[in-house]
């Protein structure tokens, strides 16, 4: 018999965080409360786009609107901090979509990982 995880009551979460991961192939959006517990998530692929259409700004907009509207209606979200990661085409479109949904943005942070030294270089070519 498997133990069920106790579901926490996440009603009326007015402040939250939105994490946008914009890669070259997809855009993934996660809406969390301030502690980091996931309320809603969506992605371009989850929104019905396949192949190269997943990596378009429009697909990112649809994914963000889907996650944000559900979080607003089910949990009463009104103010968010936005964390954007990655170089993909959905970065700016995601921000515009969050603003268009009527959420107040208190902070925008770019958390794209940047290597300080990178991988080891190739061996020198022999003459």
Q: Which CATH number fits the domain that encloses residue 64? A: 3.30.420.80
Examine residue 125 and state whether it is found in any structural domain, yes or no. Answer: no
pTM confidence score: 0.84
Examine residue 80 and state whether it is found in any structural domain, yes or no. Answer: yes
Cα separation of 18 and 84, whole Å?
8
Number of domains composing the chain: 1
State residue 6's pLDDT score.
53
Cα separation of 74 and 12, whole Å?
8
Examine residue 22 and state whether it is found in any structural domain, yes or no. Answer: yes
Give tens-digit pLDDT for 18-75: 999 999 999 999 999 999 999 999 999 999 999 999 999 999 999 999 999 999 999 9
* Nearest one of 61, 78, 67 to 16, comparing CA atoms: 78
Where residue 3 falls among pLDDT bands split at 50, 70, 90?
Answer: low
Examine residue 9 and state whether it is found in any structural domain, yes or no. Answer: no
Residue with tokens 């559900």: 70
Helices 90-100 and 57-75: angle between axes, nearest 10 degrees: 30
Look up residue 88 and give its DSSP letter.
S
Give tens-digit pLDDT for 50-60: 999 999 999 99
Examine residue 122 and state whether it is found in any structural domain, yes or no. Answer: no
**For the chain, first and last CA: distance in Å?**
67
Cα separation of 44 and 55, whole Å?
8
Examine residue 83 and state whether it is found in any structural domain, yes or no. Answer: yes
Examine residue 118 and state whether it is found in any structural domain, yes or no. Answer: no
Look up residue 69 and give its DSSP letter.
H
Domain extent, residue 66, equals 15-110
Contact 83, 96 (CB under 8 A): no
State residue 12's pLDDT score.
83
Examine residue 36 and state whether it is found in any structural domain, yes or no. Answer: yes
Tokens found for residue 82: 């936005």
Cα separation of 4 and 101, whole Å?
35
């Amino acid at each position: 018999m498997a133990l069920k995880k106790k579901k926490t009551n996440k009603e009326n979460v007015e402040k939250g965080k939105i994490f946008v991961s914009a890669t070259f192939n997809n855009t993934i959006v996660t809406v969390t409360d301030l502690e980091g517990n996931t309320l809603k998530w969506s992605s371009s692929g989850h929104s019905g786009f396949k192949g190269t259409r997943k990596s378009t700004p429009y697909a990112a907009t649809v994914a963000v609107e889907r996650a944000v509207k559900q979080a607003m209606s089910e949990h009463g979200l009104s103010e968010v901090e936005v964390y954007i990661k990655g170089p993909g085409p959905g970065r700016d479109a995601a921000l515009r979509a969050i603003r268009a949904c009527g959420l107040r943005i208190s902070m925008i942070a770019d958390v794209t990982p940047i290597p300080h030294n990178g991988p080891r270089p190739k061996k020198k070519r022999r003459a």
